[in-house]
Amino acid sequence: MLLLQLLINGLQLGAIYALTAVGFALIFGSTRIFHVAHGAAFTLAAYLFWWSFTKLHWHWLAALVLAAAVVIAFGVAMERWIYRPIQRHEGAFFTVFIAAFGMQIVVQNAVGTVFGRGFETVTVALSRAVPVATGLYVAPVAAVAIGTAIVCFIALAWFLTRTHIGTALRALSDNPDLVRVFGLDPARLAQVAFALGSALVVPGAALTAATQGINPNIGAHIMLISLAATIVGGIGSLTGAACGGLLLGLAESLALWKLDAQWSEGVTFVILFVFIIFRPAGFLGRPLGAK
């Protein structure tokens, strides 16, 4: 029964990781910008949801809309005011990384200053597990997490395959010059990628506030997982990132079946190292050297 319990916990966690990882992968895949501040967007979304829902007593949907509006603005502003000027001056990949990393720290400290540095949580009945069999407890939020991830991925797939902007975004990741030839503006498309990718952290952030609780440093951890999931899934593949996130969530939880709890996060990075060594392109990425 412990195995089944850990499997359900892993699916719930994996759904949250998948949502965040796909957001990061969308931004990185489309723009090649290593947006480490994606974790900061997660922190912002989690705190805004908690603040508006718990402190201002807004409806959960209104709280989600506020969080989404702010993190979309944050993502677009990062692209417009931080990354684009760096890239315009031929800033190296490392410069972009440092800028993003710096923003992550700024947001972390700003959130701590504004909302406090302690632990906060959204208390909802959905996060309370109920016994469904002897020794097996399932919280309704598990179904919400998995359902939300599925809905978001279907909507994203539809957007990327059935709309002009979505098609252009996919083209941007393949060949930005070709996008320009067709009269499209890569800068505008990059902003769409940032807006969409940032919006994808919102459900995961809200679910994390309800299931785990939050503190200003929560974004750093989620960023690491997103990065690992993107590499494991295959850089450039959104499906791969989603599967990578799910795999890492499952691995983190299932590790407890046979290993001590301090290994649960270590397993994530063991999987990452295995992929880096034996399959650096990830399980759905393009083989290295492929055009």
Partner 1 sequence: MQIWKCAAAIAACALGAAAAQAQDLRIGANLPMSGPNAEYGELFSNAAKLAIEHINADKLLSKKLDLVIEDSQAQPQQGVVAMNKLVNVEKVPFVLSAFTAVSKAVAPVGDKAHVVTVNGGAIGPDLAELGDYFWNVIPLVNLEVQAMAPYLVKERGFKKIALVYVDDPAGEAIRKELETHLPKNGGALVAAIQVPRASQQFSGVAAKVREASPDLVYIASFGAQQAQIAKQLRDNGVAQQLASYSAYSAPTAAQLPESKGALYTTQVINWSGDPLSQRVAKDWQAKTGKEPSAYIANYYNAVLIFAKLAQALEKSGQPITGENLLKQRKAMSSFDVVGGKLTFLPNGTVSVPLQVNETDGGAGKPVKTNIVVAP
DSSP string, 57-119: ---HHHHHHHHHHHHHHHHHHIIIIIIHHHHHTT--HHHHHHHHHHHHHHHHHHHHHHH-SS-
Burial of 189 (0-12, 13-18, 19+ CB in 10 A): buried
CB of 143 to partner 1, least distance (A): 15
Q: What gap in Å lies between CA 173 and CA 88, rounded to an integer?
A: 18
> Across-strand partners of 133?
136
Residue with tokens 């990327």: 160
- Find all residues with CB under 8 Å of 42, minimum gap 6, and list them: 20, 201, 204, 205, 208, 218, 219, 222, 223
Residues 6+ apart with CB under 8 A from 45: 67, 68, 70, 71, 201, 202, 205, 206
Smallest distance from partner 1 to CB 144, Å: 13
254 to each of 4, 135, 156, how far by Cα in Å?
A: 9, 16, 29
Nearest distance from residue 4's CB to partner 1, in Å?
10
Q: Give the other-Cβ count within 10 Å of 6's Cβ.
A: 18
Q: Which pair of structure tokens corresponds to residue 287?
A: 């083989």
Summarize as ranges the residues that interact with partner 1 (CB under 8 A). Answer: 2, 5-6, 9, 12-13, 108-109, 112, 116-121, 123, 127-131, 135, 137, 139, 211-213, 215-218, 221, 252-253, 256, 260-262, 264-265
Q: Which tokens belong to 284?
A: 């759905």
* Nearest approach, Cβ of residue 32 and partner 1 (Å): 29
For the bound state, the minimum distance from the C-beta of residue 151 to partner 1, rounded and expressed in Å, comes to 23
Q: How far is the CB of 221 from partner 1 (least distance, A)?
A: 6
Beta carbon nearer to partner 1, 36 or 72: 36
Q: Which residue has the tokens 């990830």?
A: 282
* Complex with partner 1: residue 91 or 213, whichever CB lies closer: 213
Residue 129 beta carbon to partner 1: minimum distance, rounded to whole angstroms: 5
Q: How far is the CB of 5 from partner 1 (least distance, A)?
A: 4
* Distance from C-alpha of 41 to C-alpha of 74, rounded to nearest angstrom: 7
